[in-house]
A and B are shown apart, each in its own frame.
Chain A
Amino acid sequence: MHRLETHVDPNAPGYRAFYQHNKELSAELRETLRKARHDRPQKALDRLAEQQKLTVRERLDLLLDRGAPFLELMPLAANRHYDGEAPQALLVTGIGVVSGREVMVIANDSSLKGGAWYPITTRKIVRALQVALENRLPVVHMLDSGGANLHLQDEIYSVAGHIFQQQCHLSAQGIPQLAVVFGYCTAGAAYTPTLCDQTIMVRERGAIFLAGPPLVKAATGEENTTEELGGADMHTTVSGVADYAVDSEAEALALARDVVGVWARRDKADSDRRVPEDPFHDPDQLYGIIPDDIKKQFEMREVIARVVDGSLFHEFKPNYGDTMVCGWAFIWGFKVGILGNNGVIYSEAANKATTFMQLCDRDSIPLLFLHNVTGFMVGREYERRGITKDGAKMLMVQANVTVPKLSVLCHASQGAGNYAMAGRTWDPRFVYAWPNSRSSIMGPEQAADVLTQVRVAGLKRRGEEPSPDEVSTIKREVTAYFESTYHSYYLTSDLRDDGLIDPIDTRNTLGMSLSAVLNAPIVRAPGGVLRI
Chain B
Amino acid sequence: MSELPEKVLVANRGEIAVRVMRTLRALGIASVAVYHREDADGRAVREADEAVELFGDTPVGAYLDVPGIVAACGATGASAVHPGFGFLSENASFAEALAEAGITFIGPPPSAMRSMGDKIESKRLAAAAGVPTLPGSPDAVSDVEEAVAIAAEIGFPVLMKASAGGGGKGMRIANDAAECREAFERASSEAAASFGDGRVFVERFIGRPRHVEVQVLADGHGTVLHLGERECSIQRRYQKVIEESPSPAIDAETRAAMGATAVALAQAVGYVSAGTVEMILDEDGSFYFLEMNTRLQVEHPVTELVTGIDIVAEQIRIAAGEPLSFGQDDVRMDGWAIEARVYAEDADNDFMPAIGRLGLVRFPAGEGIRVDHGVVEGQQVSASFDPMIAKVAAHGATRAEAIARLRDALRRTVLLGTVTNTAYLERVLAHPDFAAGETHTNFLAVHAEALAPVPADADVERCLVAAAALASPRYDQRLAAPEPLASMGSWRP
Q: Which residues of A contact B (CB under 8 A)?
A: 65-72, 75, 97, 99-102, 261, 265, 268, 276, 332-334, 499, 501-502, 505, 508-509, 511-512, 515
Contacts and interface: CB of A to CB of B under 8 A. Distances in A.
Interface in B450-493: 476, 478-493
B486 A99 contact: no
Interface in B428-462: none
Contact of B492 (A66, A72, A333, A515): A72
B488 A508 contact: yes
A515 B485 contact: yes
A100 B484 contact: no
Contacts of B488: 68-69, 332, 508, 511-512
A17 B488 CA distance: 31
Interface string B305-333: 00000000000000000000000000000
Contacts of B482: 97, 100-102, 268, 515
20 contacts: A67-B486, A68-B489, A68-B490, A69-B488, A69-B492, A70-B490, A70-B492, A71-B493, A100-B476, A100-B482, A101-B482, A102-B485, A265-B478, A332-B487, A332-B488, A501-B493, A502-B493, A508-B491, A509-B493, A512-B488
B484 A333 contact: yes
A102 B489 CA distance: 14
Contacts of B478: 100, 265
Nearest to A265: B478
B479 A69 contact: no
B143 to A, nearest CB: 73
Contact of B493 (A66, A68, A333, A499): A499
Given A100-B478, A501-B493, A508-B493, A69 B485 contact: yes
A470 B481 CA distance: 62
A511 B478 CA distance: 22
Question: How many B residues touch the partner, as a band?
Answer: 10 to 19
Contacts of A276: 483-484, 487
Given A99-B479, A100-B479, A261-B479, A66 B484 contact: no
Nearest to A261: B479
A505 B493 contact: yes
Question: Nearest 5 pairs between A and B by C-beta?
Answer: A100-B479, A69-B491, A69-B488, A332-B484, A68-B481
Contacts of A75: 493
A509 B486 CA distance: 14
Given A67-B490, A332-B488, 5 more contacts: A68-B485, A70-B490, A100-B476, A100-B481, A100-B482
Given A97-B485, A102-B485, A69 B490 contact: yes
Contacts of B490: 66-70
B479 A72 contact: no
B353 to A, nearest CB: 40
Best-surrounded residue of B481, B486, B493 (most CB of chain A within 10 A): B493
B490 to A, nearest CB: 5
Contacts of B484: 276, 332-334, 511, 515
A67 B487 contact: no
A69 B489 CA distance: 6
Interface string B359-396: 00000000000000000000000000000000000000
A511 to B, nearest CB: 6
Contact of B481 (A65, A268, A499, A511): A65
Contacts of A71: 493
Best-surrounded residue of B483, B484, B486 (most CB of chain A within 10 A): B484
A187 B486 CA distance: 40
Nearest to B487: A276
B472 to A, nearest CB: 15
Contacts of A511: 484-485, 488
A257 to B, nearest CB: 9
Nearest to B477: A100
Contacts of A68: 481, 485-486, 488-490
B491 A100 contact: no
A515 B482 CA distance: 9
A101 B481 CA distance: 6
A31 to B, nearest CB: 14
B489 A67 contact: yes
Contacts of A515: 482, 484-485
A308 to B, nearest CB: 13
Contacts of B476: 99-100, 261
